[in-house]
Each structure stands twice: as C-alpha cells, then as structure tokens.
Copies of this chain bind each other. A is one copy, B any other.
C-alpha cells in the first residue's frame, strides 16, 4: 500500500498526456469560451487525444476544474487533527479553514479563475456538491472529536454545513471584488459564525450605547408554542 514511488522503468504504451495538462487546457478553454460552450471533443482535440481517452483521465467534464481535491482534504484533516485541544473549537476551525485556503501569491490568479468557474457556472457549482460533502466530512469529523459525539450527529453536521456555507459566501464575496483578499474575508466569515451573527441589527442591541429603549422584548421567542402536530 506504499510502493507508488517510481516503478523504475515504465512498461506498456506511454501516456499521451497528463492530468495536469488536461486541466490546463480545460481551464483555458472554459475561461475563454465558457464552460457549457466547450465540448469534450474540443478539449480532447486540443490535447491531442481522443474523446474516449479523455474519460480515462477524468470521469466527467466537471472533475476537470477540481484538481486532486482529495489530496488537499487530507491536508485539512491533518491540520485540524494537529491543533492542540487548548484552542477552542471554532477558533481552531477558523484557523484551519483560513490556512487551508491560503494560496501562493503566484497562483492567486489561477485560483480566482478556478473558483469563478466553480461558483459562477451553475452546472459546475451543482456538481461540486460531491467535493463539498468531502470537505464537510473533514470538518464534521473534527467537531465530532471535539464534542465527543459521532461525526454523523446533528451538531457536527451542523457546524460543518454552516462552516461550508460561510466559506462559500466568503469566496463569492471575494470573487465579486477584484482587489479583495480572500484571507480576511474567510476569517471574518468564520468569526461571525462563531458569534452567532449577533450585534448587527440596526434597530436593536447594537445601538444600546445610544441609550435607546430596546422596548419590545428581545428573545420574544413568540412562535414556539405552536409546534403542535
């Protein structure tokens, strides 16, 4: 289970291309002509391989945009596992997610294009749920360990889903502002999550400093008794 490193000499017919090259060609075509408008035949043609061969490298057109995401997920998993227990859960989560999404300055432009495709092309975004699930699983596992519950329990799943939502929202915001930096956005997003989005309402507690009468009960929780049926 660990004899990968270099089988010395290769046997059989040598590969005509590589995952990396296909990814490069695909991203290039997608960003210029559009994702839906680019057919597999065009990508295969540009790479000098047949349509059928393309599918031996990537099982679907969508997978082209995500590199080997699973490998990166392992990174995230290890980083979370290595976080000392003294760091509070949400703080650890924030730190890990921010670090996970940190990209080398030279690759920022590429990352932007990639994420613009993923979050901007509806069908691509839809298909990405598989990857997102993998991401969430890593988070849920970490939270599960922290709270002493199986990762499938409600709370871990909750945090995982919410954290993913924050990450996507932060990314979307990042993509909308050409000059923005991703890191502070992600950091802010998870930080907000950890506070329960408190203190933002224009009319309520945020303004107590002005001596307002907060009036009608905060936390009213009115609609509760109705959970009849």
Binding site for B on A (CB under 8 A): 70, 74, 81, 84-91, 95, 98-99, 102, 104-105, 122, 125-130, 141, 144-148, 151-155, 157-166, 168-170, 172-173, 176, 183-185, 187-189, 192-198, 200-204, 214-227, 229
Contact = CB atoms under 8 A, between A and B. Distances in A.
A106 B143 CA distance: 37
A154 B154 CA distance: 26
A109 to B, nearest CB: 14
16 contacts: A85-B214, A85-B217, A87-B220, A88-B220, A89-B204, A90-B198, A91-B219, A99-B223, A122-B130, A158-B165, A158-B166, A158-B169, A164-B165, A193-B193, A194-B198, A196-B198
Contacts of A184: 227
Contacts of A162: 161-162, 165-166, 193, 197
Contact of A102 (B104, B159, B229): B229
A216 to B, nearest CB: 3
Nearest to A195: B196
Given A148-B219, A173-B157, A196-B196, A141 B86 contact: no
A2 B144 CA distance: 51
Contacts of A99: 223, 226
Contacts of A194: 196-198
B216 A86 contact: yes
A85 B195 contact: no
A204 B146 CA distance: 10
Contact of A201 (B70, B89, B125, B170): B89
A97 B115 CA distance: 30
B165 A161 contact: yes
Nearest to A197: B159
Nearest to A136: B165
A202 B165 CA distance: 25
Q: Looking at A129, A165, A188, which has the most chain B CB atoms within 10 Å of its CB? A: A165
A217 B99 CA distance: 21
Contacts of A229: 70, 74, 102, 104-105
A183 B214 CA distance: 30
